[in-house]
Amino acid sequence: MRRYLRVVGLCLACGFCSLLYAFSQLAVSLEEGAAGGRRPQAAAMGSWLADGGRGPGRGAGSAGSGRPGRCKDFSLCYWNPYWMLPSDVCGMNCFWEAALRYSLKTQPTEKMHLAVVACGERLEETVTMLKSALIFSVKPLQVHIFAEDQLHNSFKDRLDSWSFLQRFNYTLYPITFPSDSAVEWKKLFKPCASQRLFLPLILKEVDSLLYVDTDILFLRPVDDIWSLLKKFNSTQIAAMAPEHEEPRIGWYNRFARHPYYGKTGVNSGVMLMNMTRMRRKYFKNDMTTARLQWGDILMPLLKKYKLNITWGDQDLLNIMFFHNPESLFVFPCQWNYRPDHCIYGSNCREAEEEGVFILHGNRGVYHDDKQPAFRAMYEALRNCSFEDNAIRSLLKPLEMELQKTVHTYCGKTYKIFIKQLTKSIRNRYDTPPKER
């Protein structure tokens, strides 16, 4: 029995020693190559904050620790196993910083990608859309702006003044179509509108992307629609909202001369894409028995249906997902709320229950008096600054303007326009920073 106990004790001791050695080697290997060599702790914490840390870092030695001088001027990038630490080094703090650094390396902050195409007189709309996205969003936002050359300097002047927004970066691109068919694509529906079809082929390094039209207003964080990517099943590559909720006023089911998705088609003004899957997928089609990839199917589709389509690139997307319905995730109308949802009476049930999440002012309603409720929303966000107090004080004057629109069908339901907006402002600007 004693021999048995001795063997067990010896095994446990060996296992413990092996574990300590393995742990020390792992810790050293994780910290190898850290830039800057033996940096002071203050510099290390500065780097940690710059890399996106939240809250105060764990210092190597604090004034109230009761052990003055411990861990001073010792680089925690190259800490040693505990039994080899110098006398003035605090092993526990070394452990916590190493764990923190490893966590930050392996779990970088996710960046959201937003794309928009702007041509003609769309500068102000685009800037207002971007402002609404930035006011509420939490994660860093990388914006890809495809614009005519004459708009580039104006975009730079406006967006460079937002340099104080550390979670925002943008890149400007020229309008680009395949050289052998550029003229045909430019004439499709509206100038530049079909640019969105080529985003998976141009932004090859981007995995996922949210495309929106210029006349979009975000009434809740971009993070929330971005999270829908996690709800895609293994076959879904993109997400859009239905074109209509009420078939009696639907356009596709009454007038389309081409195939379209579902009962009433889909609207491409807000389109969430897993572009890695889009580039890899082979699409079923009615032009050949062979399945075609994204870059190969666009031109044949245009040639076959160009005399039958009215809404350009949106029609081509409807045709594509008609033949590949398993590839589309359909989100509710509150994520793409348009005048069609209220112009003849309210017909977006989800918006009635939870409010409008994304407002889409198509038909030019931000700039005329046909739908004053939409125009009031646009003007309020266009004139709003990034200052916290300005955002908090946005609601009262906006509601007063909306109350003046109750003579219209959309104005009668004006409360759904500000229901989610009120929550977004409260959550983002009335909540203490530690609780956000």
Q: What is the pLDDT of residues 305-342, one digit of tens each?
A: 999 999 989 999 999 999 999 999 999 999 999 999 99
Residue percentage of the chain with pLDDT more than 70: 76
85/210 Cα distance (integer angstroms)? 50
Query: What's the pLDDT score for residue 95?
Result: 52
Give the separation between CA 66 and CA 12, rounded to whole angstroms: 35
pLDDT of residue 277: 98
CB distance 44 to 97 below 8 Å: yes
Mean pLDDT lowest for which of 61-70, 137-146, 240-249, 419-428? 61-70
Indicate if the pLDDT at residue 17 is higher than 90: no
- Residue 430, pLDDT > 90, answer no
Confidence of residue 48 (pLDDT cuts 50, 70, 90): very low
18 burial via Cβ count (<10 Å: 0-12, 13-18, 19+): exposed
- Find the mean pLDDT for residues 274-297: 96
Whole-number average pLDDT of the chain: 83
Read off the pLDDT of each residue in 222-241 and give the average, rounded to a whole number: 98
Question: Would you state the pLDDT for residue 23?
Answer: 60
**pTM score:** 0.76
Q: Which helix (H) or strand (E) holds 218?
A: strand 216-218
Half-sphere exposure for 203 (CA within 13 Å, toward CB):
31
Under a CB-based contact definition with an 8 Å cutoff, are residues 409 and 343 in contact? yes
pLDDT at 14 over 70: yes
**What pLDDT is attached to residue 45?**
36
Query: pLDDT band at residue 106, thresholds of 50, 70 and 90?
Result: low
Residue identified by tokens 């009434």 is 219
Please tell me the predicted confidence (pLDDT) of residue 119. 93
Q: Is the pLDDT at 50 greater than 50, yes or no?
A: no
Alpha helices in 137-194, H assignment, sequence order = 152-160, 182-186
Report pLDDT digits (tens) over 148-194.
999 999 999 999 999 889 899 999 999 999 888 888 888 787 778 89
What per-residue confidence (pLDDT) applies to 343? 93
- 80 torsion bin: left (phi>0), alpha (psi -120 to 50), beta (else): beta
Query: What is the C-alpha separation between 29 and 35, in angstroms, rounded?
Result: 14
pLDDT at 92 over 60: no
Asked whether residue 253 carries a pLDDT value surpassing 50, the answer given is: yes
Comparison of pLDDT for 399 and 70, the residue scoring more: 399
Mean pLDDT for the stretch of residues 284-298: 95
